[in-house]
Structure 1
Amino acid sequence: MWIVRQYQETGRFFRKKLLKLFLILCICFAGLCVLSGIWLASEEALLNEFVQQIAAGFEEKRLFDEGGISFFTLLLNNLYAVGISILIGCIPFFFLTILPFFSNVVVLGAMGALYQTTGIGMGAFLIGILPHGILELPALLVSFALGLYLCWSLSYKICLQRERSFRQALKEAGRVYLLVVVPLLLAAAVIETYVTPALMGLFLGV
């Protein structure tokens, strides 16, 4: 079947070109989230400023409606964000994808620090993050890996003037986005919209 072949090709590409970078990003992301959370927990004024900026960003993107999280708005926002993280990799030499990587690190670190310093606790934070995060975070990290891979591929081609097909790299990145990132974000959006709020309500006794 065509779709099976596409997933097979995607798997080969991921193992050969992205796996090591993906694992490095996973380790760095986890470590930096913990470190940023510890640091922000000790800087109350800075933490409050970050939290206000995060809340303003949510409001600007209209992620919430009267009934809670807006599923379609959340999904479209996430698809757009990861798409941009990949596409800015088409700008050579600067590796701009590292900017949304660090942005997400700060957001998670700040939210963790907020839950800890306000006494809500890390248990509630993990309940609020893990159900959808086990799908959304890998999707984000794959998109960051794709953006960095594209930037490296184009920079390599420009510097060494080798007959290296950047068009093929774009094709592979697009296939990973459609077959891996989009389904993960779709499932994560369903969980974040309908499951995570219920679990938080049970945990907090609301």
Structure 2
Amino acid sequence: MTERSQRAEGGGFFGSYPPQAALADAWDEHRRYVGFAAGLFALGVVVGVLLLAAGYNLLEIIADLLGESLFPEDIDAFGGLELARFLLVNNSQAYFLSIGGALSLGLLTAWAMVFNGIIVGNVGAAVANNVGLDYILVGLLPHGVFELPALFIAAGIGFRLLYRFGQRIRGTRDAVFTKPYLYRTALLVLAGWLLLVVAAFVEAFVTPALLEALFAERLEGLSTP
């Protein structure tokens, strides 16, 4: 932590601990855990690609097991705002679940990262095989540059919280929660969630427009008998 954040630990921190400094300290505190979460996701992507190479299409398997798709059948009929809302609600659930996963000793948080990576790797590889790598890059990158960091931040917060609990149990930390910690972490939670908001609107409005503009002829060719 910076000298400013150390002074804030003594109380009365709102005046001496502006949001910009608090957010910077929150990032310094959590970045290793965010990187760990990104590593778990990358591992999941590799597993997902390998599963497809072995002949396992997870969307088809999950649909057979659950009797329904992971995505609503009428999602194509959603308007832009409806789709953005749907995406934000679903991603927000995953976001806060990753933070709360600290209560499961981090197992739920770790599983969320690996599972999401597996799905992205498996589905992405399947789509790339059918339509092309450029299609999946255009379909994922515009919103993914916002959505994935947000989810990694959430998981990083969950892992860091678990570590603070461990420090308290070992007696190397006086308290799990302090006012400055809650303050700066709440700012990081808000910043990550705002990235999800941006991602939802990009995915609802920008991504479909790009795919239509760049790949309409290719998709029409695929649908032609």
User: Do residues 165 (structure 1) and 149 (structure 2) align?
Assistant: no
Query: 1: CA distance between counterparts of 2:167 and 2:127?
Result: 43
Name stretches of at least 5 consecutive residues in structure 1 with no aligned partner. Answer: none
**Do the aligned partners of 2:33 and 2:157 also contact (CA within 8 Å) in 1?**
no
Name stretches of at least 5 consecutive residues in structure 2 with no aligned partner. Answer: 1-13, 218-225
| Matched residue, 2:220 | none
Amino acid at match of 2:49: G
User: Do residues 103 (structure 1) and 99 (structure 2) align?
Assistant: no
User: Do residues 138 (structure 1) and 149 (structure 2) align?
Assistant: yes
Q: 2:101 aligns with which of 83, 88, 93?
A: 88
| Alpha-carbon offset, residue 31 of structure 1 | 4.6
Q: Is the deviation greater in 42-51 or in 65-74?
A: 42-51
1:34-62 alpha-carbon deviations (Å, 9 max, x no partner):
34213323324556314766x722229x8
| Matched residue, 1:148 | 159
Q: Is the deviation greater in 73-82 or in 27-36?
A: 27-36
| Alpha-carbon offset, residue 24 of structure 1 | 3.4
User: Do residues 174 (structure 1) and 186 (structure 2) align?
Assistant: yes
| Matched residue, 1:121 | 132
Give the secondary-structure state (helix, strand or coil) at the position aligned to 1:56.
Answer: coil
User: Do residues 13 (structure 1) and 23 (structure 2) align?
Assistant: no
Query: 1: CA distance between counterparts of 2:57 and 2:39?
Result: 28
* 1:36-75 map, 5 Å: 36-44=48-56, 48-50=60-62, 56-59=69-72, 65-67=77-79, 70-75=83-88
Query: 1: CA distance between counterparts of 2:107 and 2:183?
Result: 19
Query: 2: CA distance between counterparts of 1:185 and 1:12?
Result: 21
**Do the aligned partners of 2:128 and 2:135 also contact (CA within 8 Å) in 1?**
no
Judged with a 3 Å threshold, the aligned counterparts in structure 2 of structure 1 residues 197 and 190 are, in CA distance, closer, same or farther, namely same
Judged with a 3 Å threshold, the aligned counterparts in structure 2 of structure 1 residues 48 and 94 are, in CA distance, closer, same or farther, namely same
Give the secondary-structure state (helix, strand or coil) at the position aligned to 2:118.
Answer: helix
TM-score (norm 2): 0.75
| Alpha-carbon offset, residue 70 of structure 1 | 1.4
TM-score (norm 1): 0.81
1:141-166 alpha-carbon deviations (Å, 9 max, x no partner):
111111111112113322x1444322
1:50-86 alpha-carbon deviations (Å, 9 max, x no partner):
4766x722229x8664436611121122122101110
Q: Percent identity?
A: 26
